[in-house]
Amino acid sequence: MRETLRPIDPKDVRFFSGQSHPILAEAIAGYLNIPLSSTHFTRFSNDNLYIQLGASVRGRIVFIVQSLTPPVSDHIIELLMMLDIARGAGAHEIHAIIPYFSYARSDKKDAPRISITARLIADLLQTAGATHLMTMTLHSPQVHGFFSIPTDPLTARHLFVRYLADQGVDRQRTVVVAPDVGRAKPAARFAAQLGVQVAAAYKDRISDKNVKFNEPLLERQVQGYTRAIIYDDEIATGTTVVELCSLLVKFGIRDVIAICTHGLFTEQALDNITVIPELSQIITTDTVPIPPEKQTGKLRILSVAPVFGEAILRNYNRQSIGDLFSFS
Q: What is the CATH number of the domain that holds 125?
A: 3.40.50.2020
Residue pair 203/146 in contact by the 8 Å Cβ criterion: no
Q: Within this chain, do residues 69 and 92 fall inside the same structural domain, yes or no?
A: yes
Q: Within this chain, do residues 263 and 295 fall inside the same structural domain, yes or no?
A: yes
Question: Considering its fold, how many domains does the chain have in total?
Answer: 2
Q: Which residues of the chain have pLDDT under 70?
A: 1-3, 206-209, 328
3-state class (DSSP) for residue 64: strand
pLDDT value of residue 1: 45
E strand or H helix at 79, and its extent?
Answer: helix 72-88
> From start to end of the chain, where are the E strands?
13-17, 39-43, 49-53, 61-65, 93-98, 132-136, 151-154, 174-178, 197-200, 203-207, 210-213, 227-235, 255-263, 279-285, 299-302
Q: Within this chain, do residues 7 and 152 fall inside the same structural domain, yes or no?
A: yes
Q: Within this chain, do residues 175 and 253 fall inside the same structural domain, yes or no?
A: yes
Of residues 11, 109, 203, 212, which has the active-site annotation? 203
CA 194 to chain centre: 20
pLDDT value of residue 209: 65
pLDDT value of residue 207: 65
- Alpha-carbon distance of 181 to 250, in angstroms, equals 21
Angle between helices 239-250 and 215-222 (to 10 degrees): 60
| Phi, psi (deg, nearest 5) at residue 190 | -65, -45
Q: Within this chain, do residues 162 and 292 fall inside the same structural domain, yes or no?
A: yes
Give the pTM.
0.93
Cβ-based neighbour number of residue 189 at 10 Å: 19
3-state class (DSSP) for residue 29: helix
Q: Within this chain, do residues 145 and 171 fall inside the same structural domain, yes or no?
A: no
Q: Within this chain, do residues 165 and 113 fall inside the same structural domain, yes or no?
A: no
CB proximity list for 188: less than 8 A, separation 6 or greater: 176, 178, 198
State how beta strands 203-207 and 210-213 pair: antiparallel
Q: Which of 289, 275, 203 is nearest to 20 (CA)?
A: 289
Burial 293-302 (b: 16+ CB within 10 A, else e): eeeeebbeeb
Q: Within this chain, do residues 133 and 243 fall inside the same structural domain, yes or no?
A: no
pLDDT value of residue 206: 61
Burial 304-323 (b: 16+ CB within 10 A, else e): bbebbbbbbbbbbeeeebee
Residue 83 identity (one-letter amino acid) = L
Q: Within this chain, do residues 281 and 314 fall inside the same structural domain, yes or no?
A: no
3-state class (DSSP) for residue 15: strand
Residue pair 105/140 in contact by the 8 Å Cβ criterion: yes
For 173, the domain range is: 157-302
Q: Within this chain, do residues 72 and 166 fall inside the same structural domain, yes or no?
A: no
- Alpha-carbon distance of 18 to 12, in angstroms, equals 20
CB proximity list for 86: less than 8 A, separation 6 or greater: 53, 57, 62, 64, 94, 129
CB proximity list for 236: less than 8 A, separation 6 or greater: 264, 265, 266, 269
Q: How far are the Cα atoms of 57, 62, 269, 313, 320 from residue 92, in angstroms, in the given order?
A: 8, 8, 43, 17, 21
Residue 203 is among the residues annotated as catalytic for this protein: yes
Bridge partners for 49 per DSSP: 43
- Alpha-carbon distance of 38 to 138, in angstroms, equals 29
Residue pair 327/186 in contact by the 8 Å Cβ criterion: no
Q: Within this chain, do residues 181 and 146 fall inside the same structural domain, yes or no?
A: no
Q: Within this chain, do residues 148 and 218 fall inside the same structural domain, yes or no?
A: no
